[in-house]
C-alpha cells in the first residue's frame, strides 16, 4: 500500500479511536472494546474502498455497509463523522435522549444503510441488498461486519447458505475475530471455531488477515476479495479487542463499559501521543 | 351456502402476485420451502427469475426481504403464519418494523383451519404478535376477491404489511369487478340494530350466515368485516357501539390480542359497551379435518347465533 495513503489512514484511525472514546464517555455506556477492534477495517472501507458520498448518501449506486455487530456503532459513527456525513459534535450526544446517534445503528441516521444490533440479522439484510444489486444490474458491493461471538447465532449460517446458493459475489462479510465475547473467550463460552472452515463448508471464499490493525494486510485481503467471482467472500480478521488503548486491550471487561473521566483522559492522552508520533 | 363458490385465500395470494407481477416490476417473491403450499409456486412458474427460495430458514428470509426493500424492491416474504409471525418475530420487529421497510409478509395457513397437521402448525397468535410492532399494518382478507385486492393495496402502500391467508377454501362473498379495498376501513355487510357482529377472515362468511338466520328469527344483527386489523377502523366500531349497544367479535385466532382485543381497546376508550369475543379460548388446537375443527372451537355460524341469543337473552 502507498506509504502516504497508509499514514493518512493511520491518522484517521487514531481520530476515530478518539471518537469512540468520546462517544462512549459522554454516553456513560456503550461498547468500546469491539468498536476499537474494527477501527482500521472501517477506516479502510470508508476512506480507501467503498464508493460512498456524504453529499449524496442515498445514491442508489453506492456501496452498502451493514454493521451486523451493531453494538460497535461508536466506531461506525466516528468514521461517518470523519467522512463528513454529520458533525463530529454528534458523537458527544451518542445515546442521549433526542440524539441522532442511537445506541445501535438506525437506518434513519444519515449514512446508515441498515438498522442493526440484534445479532445475526445484519448479514441477512446484506444478502438482500446484494441480491437486489444483482437483480438491478448494479455494480455496487455490500460489506457487512460480524463479531466472532455473533456468528454463534444460527441465522448467520442461514444467511451464509443463502449467499453461496445465490452466488452473491458482490457480498463481502468480515468476521472480527477478537476472540472475546461478554461471558469470556469465544472458545470457552460456546466455541464457533474453526471459523474459516465453517465458511468454506458453506461455499464461501475465505481470506485470513492475521493482523487487523495493519493496513497493508487489510489492503491485500480486499485486493484478493475483489477478484473472486461466483461466490461470496468471508474475510476473517484477527484483531485485538480494545486496540489502541493500553488498558483496554484484550480485556473482556471493556466489552460493554464506558470509560470514566480519569480513564477517558488517560486513553485520550495515549491516543494524542500516537497521533503526534504519526505526524512527527 | 352450498351453492356459493369457494376458494382458499392462499390461492388468491399466489394468483394475485402472478397477475400483478408485470404491472409492478420491482415485485419479487421469497419463500421458505413452502411454495407449493403458500401458492407462491404459481408465481415461481410464471416468473422464476423473480422468485427466491430461501430454504427452511425463515429468519434469514425476513432479513433478506429487508435488504431487498432497502434497495428499492418490493419483496413478498411467504411462509406459514406460524413461522412468519412466530419463528421470525424478532427479525420482523428489528429488521423490518424498526427500519420501517417496505416488506410484505404473506402468511398462509393461519389459524386452526390448518387442520390435520395439528397444534404446532395452527397459529392462533400471529395477529397479536404482529399488531404490537410499530409501523406494521395487519390485513386479514375474508375471501378471494378481498385477498387479491388486498395484495395490490399492499403493493401500493409504502411500509411493512402482514397479510394473513388461510389454507381452507372459503365462500367468495364479494364480487370481483365492483369490490374496492379501502385501507383501514371496515365494511358493513349487513345492517342491524340489536347487536353488531364484527368478524375477520374466514369468520366473516359465518357471521353473514348467522345474521341472515337471526333475521328470520326476528333478531337484527349488523355484520362488519374488519379486513384491516391495524390500523383499525375506530369510526365504524364506535358507530356500531353507539347504535347497537352490544358487540360480538369473531376470529380464527386467540381471544387474546387479536381482533377481539383490538375492538375492545377501541370500545373501552371511546364508547364503552359490552364486547363478547368468539375465538380460540387460550388453548392449543389439535388435529382433525378443518371444518370439523372450526365447529369444535365454536368458530361457526351456529355458535355465533347461540352467542347472540345469549347476549340478548333471547
Contact pairs from chain A to chain B, CB under 8 Å: 111
User: B282 lies in a domain?
Assistant: yes
User: B181 lies in a domain?
Assistant: no
The CA distance from B80 to the nearest CA of chain A, in Å, is: 18
- What length does chain A have? 280
User: B211 lies in a domain?
Assistant: yes
The tens digit of pLDDT for each residue in A3-15 reads 999 999 999 999 9
The mean per-residue pLDDT over the stretch B81-93 comes to: 98
Judged by a CB distance cut-off of 8 A, whether residue A115 touches chain B is yes
| CATH number for B98 | 3.40.50.970
The mean per-residue pLDDT over the stretch B234-253 comes to: 98
User: B230 lies in a domain?
Assistant: yes
Judged by a CB distance cut-off of 8 A, whether residue A256 touches chain B is no
Q: Closest chain A residue to B65 measured between Cα atoms? A: A128
pLDDT given at position B314 = 81
Residue B291 lies in domain? 187-311
From residue A100, alpha-carbon distances to A40, A105, A193, B159, B187 in Å are 24, 10, 37, 22, 42
- What length does chain B have? 314
Same domain, B124 and B242: no
The tens digit of pLDDT for each residue in B262-288 reads 999 999 999 999 999 999 999 999 999
Return the C-alpha cell found at A214: 495493519
The tens digit of pLDDT for each residue in A83-125 reads 999 999 999 999 999 999 999 999 999 999 999 999 999 999 9
User: B195 lies in a domain?
Assistant: yes
ipTM over 0.85: yes
Q: What angle do CA A271, A275, A277 make, to 5 degrees?
A: 115
pLDDT given at position A280 = 79
Entry pTM:
0.97
pLDDT given at position B4 = 85
Which chain B residues touch A if contact means CB-CB below 8 Å?
28, 50, 52, 54-55, 57, 59-73, 75, 90-91, 94-95, 98-101
User: B61 lies in a domain?
Assistant: yes
| CA–CA separation, A35 and B75 (whole Å) | 33
pLDDT given at position B2 = 54
The mean per-residue pLDDT over the stretch A219-229 comes to: 97
Same domain, B49 and B159: yes
The tens digit of pLDDT for each residue in A176-198 reads 999 999 999 999 999 999 999 99
Return the C-alpha cell found at B296: 369444535
Which residues in chain B touch residue A114, judged by CB atoms under 8 angstroms apart? 66-67, 70, 95, 99
Judged by a CB distance cut-off of 8 A, whether residue A57 touches chain B is no
Judged by a CB distance cut-off of 8 A, whether residue A219 touches chain B is no
The mean per-residue pLDDT over the stretch B61-86 comes to: 98
| CA–CA separation, B265 and B272 (whole Å) | 10
The tens digit of pLDDT for each residue in A261-280 reads 999 999 999 999 999 999 97
Of B55, B73, B101, the CB nearest to A135: B73
The CA distance from B65 to the nearest CA of chain A, in Å, is: 6
| CA–CA separation, A225 and A219 (whole Å) | 10
Which residues are paired to B164 by β-bridges? B107
Last residue of some domain: B171, B200, B219? Answer: B171
Interchain pair A106, B98: CB under 8 A: yes
Q: Which residues does B239 contact at the CB level (< 8 Å), separation at least 6?
A: none
Same domain, B61 and B147: yes
Instruction: Report the percent of chain A where pLDDT is more than 70.
Output: 100
Same domain, B191 and B112: no
Sheet-wide strand order for A233-238: A64-66, A142-147, A171-177, A233-238, A205-209
Task: Please indicate whether residue B49 is annotated as part of the active site.
Answer: no
Same domain, B159 and B199: no
Q: Which residues does B208 contact at the CB level (< 8 Å), separation at least 6?
A: B173, B189, B190, B223
Same domain, B283 and B205: yes
Q: Under a CB-based contact definition with an 8 Å cutoff, are residues A84 and A75 in contact?
A: no
Asked whether the CA dihedral B301, B302, B307, B310 is positive or negative, the reply is positive
| CATH number for A251 | 3.40.50.970
Q: Which of A115, A117, A128, A146 to mutate to test the interface with B (most CBs of B within 10 A)?
A: A128
Task: Specify the DSSP element, H or E, that contains B169.
Answer: strand B169-171
Same domain, B98 and B61: yes
| CA–CA separation, B195 and B197 (whole Å) | 7
Which residues in chain A touch residue B75, judged by CB atoms under 8 angstroms apart? 128
Interchain pair B72, A115: CB under 8 A: no
Domains of chain B: total: 2
Residue in the structure block whose three cell numbers are 477501527:
A39
Q: Does B1 have pLDDT greater than 70?
A: no
Domains of chain A: total: 1
Judged by a CB distance cut-off of 8 A, whether residue A131 touches chain B is yes
The CA distance from A99 to the nearest CA of chain B, in Å, is: 17
Interchain pair A154, B59: CB under 8 A: yes
Same domain, B224 and B261: yes
Q: Which residues does B146 contact at the CB level (< 8 Å), separation at least 6?
A: B173, B174, B179, B181, B225, B227
Interchain pair B73, A120: CB under 8 A: no
Which residues in chain A touch residue B57, judged by CB atoms under 8 angstroms apart? 155, 158, 161-162
Same domain, B90 and B225: no
The mean per-residue pLDDT over the stretch B116-131 comes to: 97
Same domain, B159 and B223: no
| CA–CA separation, A137 and A132 (whole Å) | 8
Give the torsion through C-alpha atoms of A78, A211, A232, B84, to 10 deg: -60
Grade residue B53 by pLDDT with cuts at 50, 70 and 90: very high
Residue A219 lies in domain? 3-279
Same domain, B243 and B165: no
Amino acid at each position: 500500500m502507498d506509504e502516504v495513503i497508509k499514514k493518512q489512514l493511520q491518522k484517521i484511525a487514531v481520530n476515530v479511536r478518539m471518537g469512540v472514546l468520546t462517544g462512549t464517555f459522554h454516553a456513560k455506556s456503550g461498547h468500546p472494546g469491539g468498536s476499537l477492534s474494527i477501527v482500521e477495517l472501517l477506516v479502510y472501507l470508508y476512506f480507501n474502498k467503498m464508493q460512498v458520498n456524504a453529499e449524496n448518501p442515498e445514491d442508489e449506486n453506492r456501496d452498502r455497509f451493514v454493521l451486523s455487530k451493531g453494538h460497535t456503532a461508536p466506531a461506525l459513527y466516528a468514521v461517518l463523522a470523519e467522512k463528513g456525513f454529520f458533525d463530529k459534535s454528534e458523537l458527544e450526544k451518542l445515546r442521549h435522549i433526542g440524539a441522532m446517534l442511537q445506541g445501535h445503528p438506525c437506518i434513519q441516521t444519515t449514512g446508515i444503510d441498515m438498522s442493526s444490533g440484534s445479532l445475526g440479522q445484519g448479514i441477512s439484510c446484506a444478502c438482500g441488498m446484494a441480491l437486489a444489486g444483482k437483480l438491478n444490474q448494479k455494480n455496487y458491493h455490500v460489506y457487512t461486519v460480524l463479531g466472532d461471538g455473533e456468528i454463534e447465532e444460527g441465522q448467520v449460517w442461514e444467511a451464509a447458505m443463502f449467499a453461496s446458493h445465490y452466488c452473491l459475489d458482490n457480498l463481502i462479510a468480515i468476521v472480527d475475530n477478537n476472540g472475546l465475547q461478554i461471558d469470556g473467550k469465544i472458545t470457552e463460552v460456546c466455541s464457533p471455531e474453526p471459523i474459516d472452515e465453517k465458511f468454506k463448508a458453506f461455499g464461501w471464499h475465505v481470506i485470513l488477515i492475521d493482523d487487523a490493525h495493519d493496513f497493508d494486510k487489510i489492503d491485500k485481503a480486499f485486493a484478493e476479495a475483489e477478484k473472486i467471482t461466483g461466490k461470496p467472500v468471508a474475510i476473517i480478521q484477527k484483531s485485538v479487542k480494545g486496540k489502541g488503548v493500553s488498558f483496554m486491550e484484550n480485556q473482556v471487561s471493556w466489552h460493554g463499559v464506558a470509560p470514566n473521566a480519569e480513564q477517558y483522559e488517560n486513553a485520550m492522552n495515549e491516543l494524542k501521543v500516537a497521533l503526534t508520533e504519526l505526524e512527527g | 351456502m352450498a351453492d356459493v363458490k369457494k376458494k382458499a385465500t392462499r390461492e388468491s395470494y399466489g394468483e394475485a402476485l402472478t397477475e400483478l407481477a408485470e404491472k409492478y416490476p420491482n415485485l419479487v417473491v421469497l419463500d421458505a420451502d413452502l411454495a407449493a403450499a403458500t401458492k407462491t409456486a404459481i408465481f415461481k412458474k410464471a416468473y422464476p427469475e423473480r422468485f427466491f427460495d430461501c430454504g427452511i430458514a425463515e429468519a434469514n428470509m425476513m432479513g433478506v426481504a429487508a435488504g431487498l426493500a432497502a434497495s428499492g424492491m418490493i419483496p413478498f416474504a411467504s411462509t406459514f403464519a406460524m413461522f412468519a409471525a412466530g419463528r421470525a418475530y424478532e427479525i420482523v420487529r428489528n429488521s423490518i418494523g424498526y427500519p420501517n421497510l417496505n416488506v410484505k409478509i404473506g402468511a398462509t395457513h393461519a389459524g386452526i383451519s390448518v387442520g390435520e397437521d395439528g397444534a404446532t402448525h395452527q397459529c392462533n397468535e400471529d395477529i397479536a404478535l404482529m399488531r404490537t410492532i410499530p409501523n406494521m399494518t395487519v390485513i386479514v382478507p375474508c375471501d378471494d376477491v378481498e385477498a387479491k385486492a388486498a395484495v395490490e393495496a399492499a403493493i401500493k402502500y409504502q411500509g411493512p404489511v402482514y397479510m394473513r391467508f388461510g389454507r381452507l377454501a372459503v365462500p367468495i362473498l364479494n364480487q370481483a369487478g365492483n369490490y374496492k379495498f379501502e385501507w383501514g376501513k371496515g365494511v358493513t355487510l349487513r345492517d342491524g340494530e340489536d347487536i353488531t357482529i364484527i368478524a375477520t377472515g374466514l369468520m366473516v362468511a359465518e357471521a353473514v350466515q348467522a345474521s341472515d338466520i337471526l333475521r328470520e328469527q326476528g333478531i337484527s344483527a349488523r355484520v362488519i368485516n374488519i379486513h384491516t386489523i391495524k390500523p383499525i377502523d375506530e369510526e365504524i366500531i364506535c358507530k356500531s357501539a353507539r347504535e347497537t349497544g352490544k358487540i360480538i367479535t369473531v376470529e380464527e385466532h386467540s381471544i387474546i390480542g387479536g381482533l377481539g382485543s383490538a375492538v375492545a381497546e377501541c370500545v373501552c376508550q371511546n364508547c364503552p359497551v359490552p364486547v363478547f369475543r368468539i375465538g380460540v379460548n387460550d388453548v392449543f388446537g389439535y388435529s382433525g379435518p378443518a371444518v370439523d375443527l372450526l365447529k369444535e372451537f365454536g368458530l361457526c355460524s351456529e355458535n355465533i347465533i347461540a352467542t347472540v341469543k345469549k347476549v340478548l337473552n333471547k
